[in-house]
Amino acid sequence: MNDRKAKGPRTIALVGPYSAGKSSLLESILFVTGAIGRKGKPGESAMVADSAPDARERQMSTELSVATAPYLDDSFTFLDCPGSIEFLQETMNALVGADAAVVVCEPDAAKALVLSPILHYLAEKGIPHLIFVNKIDKASGPVRDLLPSLQEVSAKPLVLRQVPIREGETVTGYVDLASERAYVYRDNAASERIELPASMTEREASARYEMLEKLADFDEQLMETLLEEKTPAPERIFADLADDLRQCLIVPVLLGSAITDHGVRRLLKALRHEVPAAAVTAARAGVPQAGPGECIAQVLKTYHTAQSGKLSLARIWGGAVKDGAILNGERVGGLFRMKGAEAQKIAEAQAGEVVAFGRLEKTETGATLGNAREPVAPLPRAERLKPVYALAVTSKNRNDEVKLSGALAKICEEDPSLHFEQNQATREFLLSGQGDIHLKVAFARLRHKFGLELEGHRPKIAYREAIRHGTKQHGRFKRQSGGHGQFGDVHIEIKPLPRGEGFRFENRIVGGVVPKQFIPAVEDGVREYLQEGPLGFPVVDVAVALYDGSYHTVDSSELAFKTAARLAMSEGMPKCDPVLLEPIGRIEVMAPSEHTSKVNSLLTGRRGQILGFDAREGWPGWDCVSAYLPETELADLIVELRSLTQGVGTFVYGFDHLQELSGRLADEIVAKFGRGAHQERKVSNL
Ligand SMILES: Nc1nc2c(ncn2[C@@H]2O[C@H](COP(=O)(O)OP(=O)(O)OP(=O)(O)O)[C@@H](O)[C@H]2O)c(=O)[nH]1
Ligand SMILES: [Mg+2]
């Protein structure tokens, strides 16, 4: 197309489910474009993607890999995203800067559901995307059978662009439905054009007609041409394909194999012709025009590297950036074009490019950067995923504790779906994220990058206790030891309060039987006791009234009254029928409808109380189940939910209320975490 030259550097995100072959596709693209001389395999150090030790160890992508390659007269940057749902945040962050996404998938109808979350996300955000059906070298069934399953999980119409040519079970080439040309795959070379095999004519004609019909849904003139049974002009078809992709009206489907490089050049050609220019994407993202001499960029990813320190990978939306430029008040300390772990130093980068800025210490992922006098208005960034899995963490070496919070801040900066905080109730440090592997990779990063060894364990649950009845109690503290004695004497009334009311103290003393100055000490004594009630947990929802007492003019003191109050509480509270309270949260579980009954039994099996279910808003074919679920049942819920739902189920959870728990389970909790455990500790401390 004539406008090709004007398109400038473009950025393509390689997305899709775990192990579909995205990193292999990147390798293949770099190889066929001549950016690398030989290909590496997943897990090998020769491979451009996945250079991090944790990725190599697991032979999976654990963070974004980036490589820029020239193709003909265009420059493309590929953002190879990890496929595991636990690293979805990386994909979301990368997509902020992509002109289009290639959704890589396997030729297996049974795995189509796994594409559902990413296809939904792309459609919702209006990000142009196409599907590359990879591993065609080992496809067992016809592509025509795969398409309906893929269509079921895509809100946008899929447009098959190629039909495979087969010899027996093997795909040996393809017919391009737009140009109506047939090709056979060649090893280590571009596909070779052949005559359209006679056996394919019928299949080709019907597939092409299907493609044209879909395009005609968005092009009235094409519709008329088809109705008049005329042949549309090739330029019209090519223009429609590009326009419809740009507007995210259709999802083109291409075929190939990253391992054999088959279909990869065809994919690149489609990208070259059809993917919109950076300026078009910038307009879609609402990026303001950069004025003369100004630039505007957005950070897609932050890396902390051993060699170059902090790198902020950014898309330049407008203007040019030179090394040493001042962006948001910070000096760019090195400008790099990336090819996996290799950072090539450059002096200047242009609008549309994705490059890494060195040493922008205050800049975080998603930040909008500019060099204008006035700070730039922040562009929308990907939302931050809420955690679904948490571990309490401690460092193996006590001396590392100071280093720990700085290192954790850095890895949370690299990956905004990691959260680190101290739980106020249990005082534990919690690292939370998207699943077990996500946190294990975070541990590995802390080890590799900062030499920190962390231990993770199940977080403590903030159990509480309350009382069911009230009582009146006398407490007296009296000591006579030589000169000055101790004397405090109180009568208190203890009463339960409704759930959620907390603690209330009431002073009902009349006539000064307990002098005013000692009343706060009584309250202190009561509060101190309530830190650890009869079952060994903090007490909530209780009212204590001081209604009588006596004092001694010389021997009474604040300490004596405080002690008397504590004594009264420790004698009175066990008589009030104490009961354990466990935290209950409200959970909304989202999963495809075919799995709803499994979700229900998963929740009820974990003492959940189902509140109802509904269609998930904006997600055809999905349900959302609401329930109350004890916090203790949440620990590994995501692991089981994923295994029941082909990995796509997810949830949001938030604390809702405290609920009484009695019986065997309550006794076990008290023995393990409450009074039982405290007594054991006291004995072992003797
Ligand atoms: N037969 C065949 N195998 C492939 C092809 N592409 C990738 N694979 C294999 O699929 C596995 C996963 O490949 P990767 O490239 O790591 O997949 P990925 O999508 O990057 O995986 P994640 O990033 O971890 O989600 C590896 O064993 C590859 O060798 C292909 O075209 N054909
Ligand atoms: Mg990968």
Q: What is the CATH number of the domain that holds 629?
A: 3.30.70.240
Query: Please, what sign has the CA dihedral across residues 456, 461, 462, 463?
Result: negative
Of 435, 457, 479, the residue at which a domain comes to its end is 457
Same domain flag for 119 and 136: yes
- CA dihedral defined by 252, 253, 258, 259, rounded to 10 degrees? -160
Using most ligand atoms within 8 A of CB, pick from 24, 81, 140 the residue to mutate for ligand 1.
24
Residues 413 and 503 in one domain: no
- Amino acid type, 425: A
559 and 443 together in one domain = no
Tell whether 320 and 415 lie within a shared domain: no
Same domain, 181 and 63: yes
Taking the centre of ligand 1 as the mean of its atom positions, its distance from the CA of residue 441, in whole angstroms, is 20
Residues 36 and 161 in one domain: yes
Which residues in the chain land under pLDDT 70? Answer: 1-6, 482, 680-686
The verdict on the CB of residue 21 being under 6 Å from ligand 1 is yes
**Residue 588 and residue 652 in contact, taking contact as beta carbons nearer than 8 Å:** yes
Please indicate, yes or no, if residue 676 is contained in any of the structural domains.
no
Structure-token pair, residue 378: 């922040």
Residue 426 DSSP label = T
Give the amino acid at 252. P
Distance CA 285, CA 639 (A): 35
**Contact criterion met (CB below 8 Å) for 395 and 406:** no
Residue nearest to atom 9 of ligand 1 (CA): 21
What gap in Å lies between CA 473 and CA 460, rounded to an integer?
A: 33
How far, in Å, from the CA of 80 to the mean position of ligand 2? Answer: 6
Residue 68 lies in a domain: yes
* pLDDT attached to residue 3: 46
The H-or-E segment that residue 38 falls in is: none
Which CATH number covers residue 393? 3.30.70.870
Pair (62, 150) in one structural domain: yes
In a domain, residue 383? The reply is no
Q: State which of 534, 551, 576 marks the end of a domain.
A: 576
Q: What are 440-469's pLDDT values in tens digits?
A: 999 998 998 888 999 999 999 999 999 999
15, 18, 19: residue to mutate for ligand 1 pocket, most atoms within 8 A of CB: 19
**Spacing, Cα 262 to ligand 1 middle (Å):** 14
272: containing domain: 2-283
* Count of domains for the chain: 5
Q: Does residue 682 lie within any of the structural domains?
A: no
Same domain, 23 and 90: yes
Nearest C-alpha neighbor of 355 from the set 329, 304, 379, 321:
321
For the chain, what is the largest distance between any 2 Cα atoms, rounded to a whole number of angstroms? 117
H or E stretch covering 549: strand 542-550
Tell me: the pLDDT tens digits for 640-675?
999 999 999 999 999 999 999 999 999 999 999 998
Radius of gyration over alpha carbons of the chain, in Å? 33
8 Å CB contact between 416 and 392: no
Domain holding 348: CATH number?
A: 2.40.30.10
Indicate which CATH number applies to the domain containing 64: 3.40.50.300
Q: Residue 374 has what pLDDT?
A: 83
Q: State whether the beta carbon of 62 lies less than 6 angstroms from ligand 1.
A: no
pLDDT at 2: 42
The answer, yes or no, to whether any atom of ligand 1 lies below 6 A from the CB of 11, is: no
Confirm or reject: Cβ of 18 under 6 Å from ligand 1: yes
Does any domain span residue 405?
Answer: yes
Assess whether the C-beta atom of 83 lies below 6 angstroms from ligand 1. Answer: yes
**Pocket of ligand 1 contains residue 22 by CB under 6 Å:** yes
Expressed in angstroms and rounded, the spacing between residue 216 Cα and the centre of ligand 2 is: 36
Report pLDDT for 5: 53
Residue 676 CB burial class (10 angstroms; 0-12, 13-18, ≥19): middle
Rounded Cα distance, 473 and 568, in Å: 6
Q: Are residues 37 and 100 in the same domain?
A: yes
The reported pTM is: 0.91
**Both 315 and 354 in a single domain?**
yes
Q: Which pLDDT score is estimated for 686?
A: 47
Domain match, 43 and 177 both: yes
| Residues 448 and 487 occupy one common structural domain | no
28 lines ligand 1 (CB under 6 A): no
Q: Are 374 and 328 in contact (CB under 8 A)?
A: no
Report if residue 677 sits inside a domain.
no
The verdict on the CB of residue 108 being under 6 Å from ligand 1 is: no
Residue 244 lies in a domain: yes
In a domain, 678, yes or no: no
Last residue of a domain, one of 417, 433, 457: 457
